[in-house]
Structure 1
Amino acid sequence: MSNPSAAAPAQGDLTRVMRVLLFIEKAGNKLPHPFWLFLSLAAIVLLLSKALSAAGVQADNPSTGETVTVTDLLSAESLREVVAGATENFVTFPPLGLVLIVLLGVAVAERSGLIPAVLRATVAGASPRWITFIVALAGTASSIASDAAYMVMIPLGGLAFRAVGRNPILGCVVAYAATSGGYSAAPFVNSLDAILGGLSTSAAHIIDENYVVTPVANLYFNFVSMFVVAAAVTLMAELLLSKRADQIELDPVEDGADVAEDDLTMELEPAEKRGMIASLVALVLCAGILVALAAPAGSFLRDEAGGFGPESGLMAGIAAIIGFGFFIVGIVYGCVTGTITHPSDIPEMMAKGLQPFVPVIVLFFAASQFLALFQMSGLGEVLAIRGAEYFGSLGAGTFLILLGGWVLVALGALFITSGSGLWTLMAPVLVPMFMLLSISPETTQALYRIGDSTTNIISPMSPYFVVVLGFLQRYKKDAGIGTLLSFTIPLSLAMFVFWGALFFIWWATGIPWGPGAAIDYPAQ
């Protein structure tokens, strides 16, 4: 028999949480669309530059010794430059080209069926003992499929749990939490790495115009994070949430085979298995060719010093190399399975794969103008210098500074669930400010990843919050936001703690975040 006195406080706590989340939802809904938000911010920058320039606001850059002043962007000379540079600002926006070239290859691998097949193969045949970890690990690795990962992993998680006799609601939530919360944790470089790297590069140019943050800047950290996030999700699910799931009775009508009629099937067809084997062979051959090309001392993939630094052909062209790799293995898989029957199928797949990215391109136009104006005005550098001076006057150590930045990002992600959108707003201030405090852009970007990803799963602002709720209601019709939050809040806290611990341990040991990505700035 349940204890009413024990249930009452728990219900009261959930009610308070619901009130907070309802406030967040209402406040976030009042924010304009990111496109208008960035254009509004661009207008604000124009006005601020006029006012602060007239007030003589300035700051001394400790790294160069130069005095930085705010430029009046509403002067006739500046306005000519603003109008003339609008096209170039958009076309040369660092994330734009990087993301497009990666997505062209990923589109072929996704549309041919390779990426969904890999995800299904990861989960199929898993034992009940390991099912939670395997679903969670597949979710963290699924970011290579971009937003399509949600539509694959959430129903797949429910099916996998049902197949081993466990509550499919828990399977859906585990898959959602791992996919969304672990979106920045991945085994390979994906479009998000290109976006964040490009934005970080633009922000770093406020302090150092030659600094480049490559798409592989957080590669090592991301790979290890994949297992840490999966472990955090698994521990919380097994130690706490499995008991919560056992208390939920599924609707008899929805608990039959009919529920899975239009879901993904986990078992692979013989043709899909042959396609995956052929793709693996193609991947190994591509890797071998790349190694052979990079091996000679005078290789075009090396830099002038003979290494593989940021200016080497390998690092500078890593987006194209990754995109080409996805392109080749996708074609091989499609030819073997029959999803590609004619050469014209390939450009059609590439075009369709870019369609979901069109709204992001629209957002990039507004973001590129905002960032260009922000940089032209000198506001970013002045804010960074003043912010660094403020933290220095407090005597706060690097640990406390990073901790504050981490919490700030996590709170911001409750309102703006677009990873690129939030970083577009925060990078121009955080990156240069932390650089002046000897923290590298790669470190700041890694910090941003863990703050942004872990709170997405509890934000009603996320479009996939409603998606996963819809899948839950297929198994239990009266499942609501409270049902979902009772699962996702503990998972969010677990990821926040575990992933945060990994970040600070990594930072303390001084291990590079990725190839050539140092902990400190300038690199020690």
Structure 2
Amino acid sequence: MSQSPSDQTRQAGILGWIEHTGNRLPDPVFIFLWLILFVVAISVIAAMTGVSAVHPTQLMEDGSPLIISAASLLSADNIQRLLVEMPTTFTHFHPLGYVLVVMLGAGVAERSGLFGSVMSSAVKMAPAALLTPVVALLAMVGNLAADAAYVVLIPLAGVVFAAAGRHPIAGIAAGFAGVSGGFSANLMPGQLDALLFGITESAVETLDSNWIMNIAGNWYFIAVMTLLYLPVIWYITDRVIEPRLGKLVTNAESSTAGIIKTADDVLSHEEAQGMRRAGLAALVVIGIWVLLCVAPGTPLINESAPEEARMQPFYQSLVAGFFILFLACGWAYGTATGSVKSHRDVVRMMSEAMADLSYYLVLAFAAAHFVAMFNWSNLGLIFAINGAAVIQASNMPTPILISVIVLLTGMINLFIGSASSKWALLAPVMVPMLMLLGISPEMATAAYRVGDGATNIITPLMPYFPLILAFCQRWNKDFGLGSLAATMIPYSIWMLITGLVLAMIWIGLGLPLGPGAGTTYAL
């Protein structure tokens, strides 16, 4: 399925200008190559002028401060690193392995017809008016699965919308906004909470060694943030984004044509039997994962780790879990409907799934080298440290300071996508600074989380941004970088605004952020 050029009317307003201008840019692969050249030039200038920053946590072996200096990407060491480590840089690109593994299984579930039947049945049972909020809520809750949510929930959101006769890119946008824009929002604490509060605890120890880390220290706040983001995503998807996308036109040559069933299709006896077999296969896979968590030795539970980190192997196993789940369910469904007659059909379906990712692989090669070289230059690290130092020296009123922290985090997020990496750099300065101003470590962490998620969805430097573009191009081959940016900007702006307002109201009323976690702190 794709959208014909005649259906892509020129949109008016600022979003239309962003889309039109962005789509006139070169292919994203070459944009990354130009960005690499730009970073190389900046790194040379920064190295020559001695741009540097003092690392807030690390010291030299002799106890002196660790100075982070800008490194020229044209130095002999970095040129050698680029050429020698090129295969490693590409293959170690963070999302690449997750995407390839999950999509191998998802390709079988999709091409066997399972996804179409399941989504068609689900759409019939759910009111069409609630499709968007259901997708958005599942996306926000699904980010407990971290990376797996990007490669599972977001493309499935497009399939769900297509099955309901709605524009699939609107579903992808809603899923992307929920998984990535609402990355810090959820109905319950998860691995992100353990990760962030572990960093917060290290920062607190510089002032208060008796402070006890509470993984649920932001539970109430992130739960309310989830409920607040839900109507925002719902309204923007249905009233802003989907009307802009226009009518979807079926293209018989599309790799997804014939796979998606509409909500009006009736399941045949074979399809109904296939869904029963897929359900049994799903129960078996889920049972195996439960067994691996409770059986002697608990392979997926790290009993020797601190309590907040014991579930880490389980979370990390979800990518493999989704691969096996989709493979088993798709295979079981296909044996009943006749779409899978032998193991050769399974291999063919997996191969076709990889063919759909061919463009993403090329794009990932360029993106991987840009991200790696940007890190080698130390420019992102220096920018983050100096930005936090400016806030520390400002002596602003508390409400304004919280606002600046949220906005600064969102801005830094455009350059450094990892939530833990940014917090590891900012927390040693921000947390003690706010504690001295009477603001609790839990509130500092909550303010950081607001800014961290909202701009995830508009920066091409976010590792999964090229993948989302590839998902969209499966439905509309002319959907470019500008189209994706214009689509996600309304979500980013309103999620940042609503999250910022929530943080201000929360600290103004002094509401508890979680069990035993207040907004104020007394040294």
Q: C-alpha offsets along residues 391-440 of structure 1, whole Å, 9 cap, x if unaligned?
A: 3333466742454258759xx9xxxxxxxxx7777989966654554599
Q: How does 1:125-136 map to 2 (within 5 A)?
A: 125-126=125-126, 130-134=127-131, 136=133
1:185 to 164, 172, 178: 178
Summarize the Cα distance change of 1:295–1:145 in structure 2 as closer, same or farther, 3 Å threshold: closer
Find the aligned partners of 1:360 and 1:446 in 2 and give their Cα distance.
Answer: 30
- When normalised by structure 2's length, the TM-score is 0.61
Query: In the alignment, residue 365 of structure 1 is paired with which amino acid?
Result: F
Which residue of the partner structure matches residue 92 of structure 1?
92
Which residue of the partner structure matches residue 318 of structure 2?
318
Which residue of the partner structure matches residue 69 of structure 1?
69
Q: Secondary structure at the match of 2:330?
A: helix
Q: How does 1:138-149 map to 2 (within 5 A)?
A: 138=135, 149=156
Find the aligned partners of 2:446 and 2:322 in 1 and give their Cα distance.
Answer: 20
Which residue of the partner structure matches residue 23 of structure 1?
17
Which residue of the partner structure matches residue 161 of structure 1?
none
Which residue of the partner structure matches residue 271 of structure 2?
272
Summarize the Cα distance change of 1:360–1:465 in structure 2 as closer, same or farther, 3 Å threshold: closer
Find the aligned partners of 1:113 and 1:341 in 2 and give their Cα distance.
Answer: 13
Q: C-alpha offsets along residues 118-140 of structure 1, whole Å, 9 cap, x if unaligned?
A: 221111155xxx43014652577
Which residue of the partner structure matches residue 37 of structure 1?
31
Query: In the alignment, residue 175 of structure 2 is paired with which amino acid?
Result: G
- Contact kept, 8 Å, 1:122 with 1:138, in 2: the verdict is no
Which residue of the partner structure matches residue 80 of structure 2?
80
Find the aligned partners of 2:389 and 2:52 in 1 and give their Cα distance.
Answer: 13
Which residue of the partner structure matches residue 400 of structure 1?
403
Q: C-alpha offsets along residues 320-343 of structure 1, whole Å, 9 cap, x if unaligned?
A: 222222221221222222221111
Find the aligned partners of 2:223 and 2:99 in 1 and give their Cα distance.
Answer: 20
Query: In the alignment, residue 67 of structure 1 is paired with which amino acid?
Result: I
How many residues get paired? 411
Find the aligned partners of 1:180 and 1:489 in 2 and give their Cα distance.
Answer: 11
Q: Secondary structure at the match of 1:302?
A: coil
Which residue of the partner structure matches residue 334 of structure 2?
334
Q: Secondary structure at the match of 1:350?
A: helix
- Contact kept, 8 Å, 2:53 with 2:385, in 1: the verdict is yes
Query: In the alignment, residue 283 of structure 1 is paired with which amino acid?
Result: A
Query: In the alignment, residue 400 of structure 1 is paired with which amino acid?
Result: S
Query: In the alignment, residue 87 of structure 1 is paired with which amino acid?
Result: P
Find the aligned partners of 1:371 and 1:488 in 2 and give their Cα distance.
Answer: 22
- Quote how far apart the aligned CAs of 1:380 are: 1.9
Q: Secondary structure at the match of 2:393?
A: helix
Query: In the alignment, residue 157 of structure 1 is paired with which amino acid?
Result: A
Find the aligned partners of 1:224 and 1:109 in 2 and give their Cα distance.
Answer: 35
Find the aligned partners of 1:285 and 1:262 in 2 and give their Cα distance.
Answer: 26
Find the aligned partners of 2:320 and 2:504 in 1 and give their Cα distance.
Answer: 32
Find the aligned partners of 2:387 and 2:491 in 1 and give their Cα distance.
Answer: 33
- Contact kept, 8 Å, 1:139 with 1:179, in 2: the verdict is no
Find the aligned partners of 2:38 and 2:491 in 1 and give their Cα distance.
Answer: 38
- Quote how far apart the aligned CAs of 1:227 are: 7.6
Q: How does 1:116-265 map to 2 (within 5 A)?
A: 116-126=116-126, 130-134=127-131, 136-138=133-135, 149=156, 152-158=159-165, 172=166, 177-185=170-178, 231-232=231-232, 264-265=261-262
Q: Secondary structure at the match of 2:262?
A: coil
- Contact kept, 8 Å, 1:186 with 1:222, in 2: the verdict is no
- Contact kept, 8 Å, 1:53 with 1:70, in 2: the verdict is yes
- Aligned pair 1:288/2:282, yes or no? no
1:58 to 52, 56, 64: 52
- Contact kept, 8 Å, 2:162 with 2:262, in 1: the verdict is no
- The RMSD of aligned alpha carbons is 5.3
| Identical amino acids, percent of aligned pairs | 24
- Contact kept, 8 Å, 1:447 with 1:503, in 2: the verdict is no
Find the aligned partners of 1:371 and 1:489 in 2 and give their Cα distance.
Answer: 22
Which residue of the partner structure matches residue 104 of structure 1?
104
Q: How does 1:462-501 map to 2 (within 5 A)?
A: none
Find the aligned partners of 1:276 and 1:106 in 2 and give their Cα distance.
Answer: 16
Gaps (5+ residues) in structure 1?
Answer: 1-16, 159-171, 191-196, 209-217, 251-260, 413-421, 471-480, 513-524
- Contact kept, 8 Å, 2:279 with 2:329, in 1: the verdict is yes
**Structure 1 range deviating more: 178-187 or 27-36:** 178-187
Summarize the Cα distance change of 1:313–1:468 in structure 2 as closer, same or farther, 3 Å threshold: closer
- When normalised by structure 1's length, the TM-score is 0.61
Q: Secondary structure at the match of 2:340?
A: coil
Summarize the Cα distance change of 1:499–1:268 in structure 2 as closer, same or farther, 3 Å threshold: farther
Find the aligned partners of 1:381 and 1:39 in 2 and give their Cα distance.
Answer: 21
Summarize the Cα distance change of 1:41–1:430 in structure 2 as closer, same or farther, 3 Å threshold: farther
Summarize the Cα distance change of 1:503–1:291 in structure 2 as closer, same or farther, 3 Å threshold: farther
Summarize the Cα distance change of 1:84–1:312 in structure 2 as closer, same or farther, 3 Å threshold: same
- Contact kept, 8 Å, 1:103 with 1:353, in 2: the verdict is yes
Summarize the Cα distance change of 1:317–1:462 in structure 2 as closer, same or farther, 3 Å threshold: closer
Q: Secondary structure at the match of 1:97?
A: helix
Q: C-alpha offsets along residues 335-360 of structure 1, whole Å, 9 cap, x if unaligned?
A: 22222111111111111112222212
- Contact kept, 8 Å, 1:406 with 1:451, in 2: the verdict is no
Query: In the alignment, residue 133 of structure 1 is paired with which amino acid?
Result: L
Find the aligned partners of 2:324 and 2:69 in 1 and give their Cα distance.
Answer: 44
Q: Secondary structure at the match of 1:102?
A: helix
Q: C-alpha offsets along residues 425-457 of structure 1, whole Å, 9 cap, x if unaligned?
A: 79899666545545999997885554455999x
Summarize the Cα distance change of 1:442–1:381 in structure 2 as closer, same or farther, 3 Å threshold: farther
Query: In the alignment, residue 96 of structure 1 is paired with which amino acid?
Result: L
- Quote how far apart the aligned CAs of 1:60 are: 0.5
Query: In the alignment, residue 105 of structure 2 is paired with which amino acid?
Result: G
